[in-house]
A and B are shown apart, each in its own frame.
Chain A
Amino acid sequence: MTHLIDIKGLSFQRNHRPIFSSVDLTITRGKITAIMGPSGSGKTTLLRLIGGQLIPGQGTITIDGQVIHKLKRRSLYQLRKRMGMLFQSAGLFTHLTVFENVAFPLREHTQLSEAMIRNLVLLKLQMVGLRGARDLMPSELSGGMARRVALARAIALDPELIMYDEPFSGQDPISMAVLVKLVHTLNQSLGLTSIIVSHDVPETLSITDYAYVISDGKVIGRGTAESIKHTDSAQLQQFLQGLPDGPVPFHYPAINIEQDLIGETR
């Protein structure tokens, strides 16, 4: 089976507001797949749906042959042990040191000795370049460092699938370059399947094998990085090139500004 994840006819709404309507997409095993789109287009929601934290209104999400939202709690947790997720805010446990954060999934899910856990944690931290920061608390880390620690924690159990939620946003150029290289290297060296949710177009397209662009609850573009870049769709080009004018309006729907300024109501 070449597809690790198969999403068919996915519809989801929150507070009566549709987020997705009839979305189909597949994630190929062993590849880096990007899911891009403007802010608020539901990219993070899609990751939560894939992770089984949200239940779709309609459609199915199948991961390695299992429909995730129909699994019992025990089976869902077994499946999640094969996944890693890097949250936008890193999600590090603030009362634990960097070392203990990375050791957390190992302590929870394995019976390894302390010596073995120590070695594994140091190896994971070495991969993200933070072996020397093992005794720091999360409050002492920069945003980029926190994400690298979260990445080390996400790969602690050697998952098959890793999901990155906006891994590059708010990073300085050095941290961003390090993270881009790290995501690519991890995917190649560990043979992972990676999903990157991002709106940082050049960085994401530089390492991705296949990309989806979603907007207004639908997939508006799909293909390899090259084919996405050369697509004719005006909506897609506006997003890729960051153009203010185009099919996607910059302004939230409102009445005419002259009427608004003359009017007395707030």
Chain B
Amino acid sequence: MLNYIASLGRFGMHLIQQYGQAGVLLSRTLLRLPNPRKGFPLVVQQVYAEGVLSLLIIIVSGLFIGMVVGLQGYHTLAKFGASQELGPLVALSVVRELGPVVTALLFAGRAGSAIAAEIGLMKATEQLSSMEMMAVDPLQRVIAPRCWGGFISMPLLTLIFNVTAVYGAYLVGVKWLGLDAGAFWSNMQASVDFNLDVVNGIIKSIAFGFVVTWIAVYQGYYAEPTSAGIANATTRTVVYSSLAVLGLDFVLTTMMIGGW
């Protein structure tokens, strides 16, 4: 019994230590002012690596998810004679929930895992140590640009996902199933509120981008410098990010709907 309590205590201490370590890493990364001349090109590179290179998976996923929601929504609404409401159904589902959440999950799998693996490998091959010995701070040179790249990319990817998903629903609902295009767009316009729906969705995506990138850089920076260690860090990045996104989505949705 005592051993059980002791191991529980050790686990708790380890968990708190990890949270503390992650907090210190983030504060050191973001509070040290970067040199704009050197820092800006590095951030642009990371927006390309994390954002532009994720475009394909985001666009394809957005299109198919929009098409599926359109198809399911049409048949469900038709039972109640409300198929003209397909536009609002798709737009609200995508802009409020599916857009930010699915983009964040895809971002964690595509960019988050790549960030963790790259930083872990740089650590294992002594690239971070050699940078330190050259009097170059790895937090500013390697970690900070990846953080900012993630923070900037996620909301933009979410917007692109939203547009693509709505277009996918339009293809199914209007072009395939024969809904009236005017009703589809005008009902959507009348039902979607810019501040309550679009802006809240973007706020969610900013929060998700922050959390996913933070988890990825933390897991990479503190990865055990072995092949198994890097593999574990990559896996943990995807698992923890996905769970964090889903949990955080519930909290944010509750706050936005006014439950708190």
| A37 sits at the interface (CB 8 A) | no
Interface residues on B, range: 10 to 19
Q: How far is the CB of B114 from chain A (nearest CB, A)?
A: 13
Q: Which residues of A contact B132 (CB under 8 A)?
A: 51, 53, 80
| B136 sits at the interface (CB 8 A) | yes
Whether the pair A108, B126 counts as a contact (CB closer than 8 A) is no
A: number of interface residues (CB 8 Å): 25
- Closest A residue to B137 using CB positions: A77
Q: Within the complex, which residue of B38, B130, B135, B141 is in contact with A91, where a contact is CB–CB below 8 Å?
A: B130
Interface string of A39-67 (1 = CB under 8 A from B): 00000000010010100000000000000
Whether the pair A89, B125 counts as a contact (CB closer than 8 A) is yes
Whether the pair A91, B125 counts as a contact (CB closer than 8 A) is yes
Interface string of B119-148 (1 = CB under 8 A from A): 000000111011011111100010000000
A109 to B133, CA, bound (A): 13
A90 to B129, CA, bound (A): 11
Interface string of B75-119 (1 = CB under 8 A from A): 000000000000000000000000000000000000000000000
Whether the pair B130, A80 counts as a contact (CB closer than 8 A) is no
- Closest B residue to A86 using CB positions: B130
Q: Which residues of B contact A150 (CB under 8 A)?
A: 130
Q: How far is the CB of B109 from chain A (nearest CB, A)?
A: 22
A91 to B134, CA, bound (A): 11
Of A53, A84, A93, A150, most B-chain CB atoms within 10 Å: A93
Q: Which residues of B contact A90 (CB under 8 A)?
A: 126
A88 to B124, CA, bound (A): 12
- Closest B residue to A78 using CB positions: B135
Within A103-126, which residues are at the interface with B (CB < 8 Å)? 104-105, 108-109
A87 to B130, CA, bound (A): 7
Q: How far is the CB of A46 from chain B (nearest CB, A)?
A: 14
- Closest B residue to A163 using CB positions: B133
Q: Within the complex, which residue of B125, B127, B130, B136 is in contact with A108, where a contact is CB–CB below 8 Å?
A: B136
Q: How far is the CB of B221 from chain A (nearest CB, A)?
A: 15
| A2 sits at the interface (CB 8 A) | no
A93 to B135, CA, bound (A): 15
| A85 sits at the interface (CB 8 A) | yes
Q: Which residues of B contact A89 (CB under 8 A)?
A: 125-126
**18 further interface pairs, Cβ-Cβ under 8 Å (given A51-B133, A91-B126):** A51-B132, A53-B129, A53-B133, A77-B135, A80-B132, A85-B130, A87-B129, A88-B126, A91-B125, A91-B130, A92-B130, A93-B127, A94-B125, A105-B135, A108-B38, A108-B135, A108-B136, A108-B141
Identify 23 residue pairs between A and B in the complex whose beta-carbon atoms are under 8 Å apart, listed by A's number.
A51-B132, A51-B133, A53-B133, A77-B135, A77-B137, A78-B135, A80-B133, A81-B135, A84-B133, A87-B130, A89-B125, A89-B126, A91-B127, A91-B129, A92-B130, A94-B127, A104-B134, A105-B134, A105-B136, A108-B134, A108-B136, A109-B135, A153-B134
Closest 8 pairs between A and B when the two form their complex, measured CB to CB: A91-B130, A91-B126, A80-B135, A77-B135, A85-B133, A87-B126, A81-B135, A105-B134
Chain A residues engaging chain B, CB cutoff 8 angstroms: 48, 51, 53, 73, 77-78, 80-81, 83-85, 87-94, 104-105, 108-109, 150, 153
